[in-house]
Chains A and B, each alone.
Chain A
Amino acid sequence: DAGVIQSPRHEVTEMGQEVTLRCKPISGHNSLFWYRQTMMRGLELLIYFNNNVPIDDSGMPEDRFSAKMPNASFSTLKIQPSEPRDSAVYFCASSKTGGTEAFFGQGTRLTVV
């Protein structure tokens, strides 16, 4: 298996623009997580899906952030409009529900200027 695949790896955008991050989880995994990592706050959980259904989005910072999982093999995280304080590395992770380890993608480094 190729692991969790994220795209793009790097994104530079101007303030106010829409940004879409993409994730393909590991086949057979039914839980998917979006995390944001910064030096100040470490890894923060943004949203958690189970069987394609959003279970907990309490970590989504504002209404500017939205996430979807239309099927078991694809998820998106969208920021509209983007702001400089959204600059961070965004990770997608997947796992099998039930307490097993989560596997992470390589991340998307987002820079909003």
Chain B
Amino acid sequence: EDQVTQSPEALRLQEGESSSLNCSYTVSGLRGLFWYRQDPGKGPEFLFTLYSAGEEKEKERLKATLTKKESFLHITAPKPEDSATYLCAGLSSGTYKYIFGTGTRLKVLA
């Protein structure tokens, strides 16, 4: 069964304290690995798509990487406005369903 697991469930960082969020996946015929940001009361907002092991994408203080078993979202020198829940999802080429992890709730303290 396709599955996506994220860790940690919650993370508190001081402003400027870099860290990484983990997304482990077992998705048949992975067609893409997606990262989203979700703010309270809003829908998930697309951040990155990764298609093959070794691929990296960057946006401001965020960098996403992908291996054959997991993906990481690296946050460099975070700011309080980076506080949100970060979700990852695997897309199966067999079913074309996006399978989401339960997310990491990130809190960045000023």
Is B66 interfacial (CB 8 A cutoff)?
no
| Cross-chain contact of B93 among A93, A99, A100, A105 (Cβ < 8 A) | A99
- Asked if B97 and A42 sit within 8 Å, CB to CB, the answer is no
- Asked if A45 and B97 sit within 8 Å, CB to CB, the answer is yes
CB nearest to A102 among chain B residues: B98
- Asked if B46 and A103 sit within 8 Å, CB to CB, the answer is yes
- Asked if A100 and B97 sit within 8 Å, CB to CB, the answer is no
Interface size class of A (residues with CB under 8 A): 20 to 34
Q: Give bound CA distance, A97 to B93, whole Å.
A: 10
| Cross-chain contact of B49 among A33, A55, A100, A103 (Cβ < 8 A) | A100
- Asked if A101 and B34 sit within 8 Å, CB to CB, the answer is yes
B31: chain A residues within 8 A (beta carbon):
99
B87: chain A residues within 8 A (beta carbon):
43
Q: Contact mask A22-64 → B, CB, 8 Å, 1/0?
A: 0000000001010100000111010010100001100000000
Q: Contact mask B18-43 → A, CB, 8 Å, 1/0?
A: 00000000000001101010000011
Known: A99-B31, A99-B32. A106 touches B42 (CB 8 A): yes
Tell me the minimal C-beta distance from B109 to chain A in angstroms. Answer: 23
- Asked if A107 and B43 sit within 8 Å, CB to CB, the answer is yes
Tell me the minimal C-beta distance from A88 to chain B in angstroms. Answer: 14
Tell me the minimal C-beta distance from A108 to chain B in angstroms. Answer: 10
Tell me the minimal C-beta distance from A31 to chain B in angstroms. Answer: 7
Residue among B34, B45, B91, B96 with the most chain A CB within 10 A? B96
Which residues of B are in contact with A by a Cβ distance under 8 Å? Answer: 31-32, 34, 36, 42-46, 49, 51, 87, 89, 91, 93, 95-103
Which residues of A are in contact with B by a Cβ distance under 8 Å? Answer: 4, 31, 33, 35, 41-43, 45, 48, 50, 55-56, 91, 93, 97, 99-107
**Further contacts, 18 of them, CB under 8 A, given A50-B96, A99-B32, A102-B98:** A42-B100, A42-B102, A43-B87, A45-B97, A45-B98, A45-B100, A48-B96, A91-B43, A93-B43, A93-B98, A99-B91, A101-B46, A101-B49, A102-B34, A104-B36, A104-B44, A106-B43, A107-B42
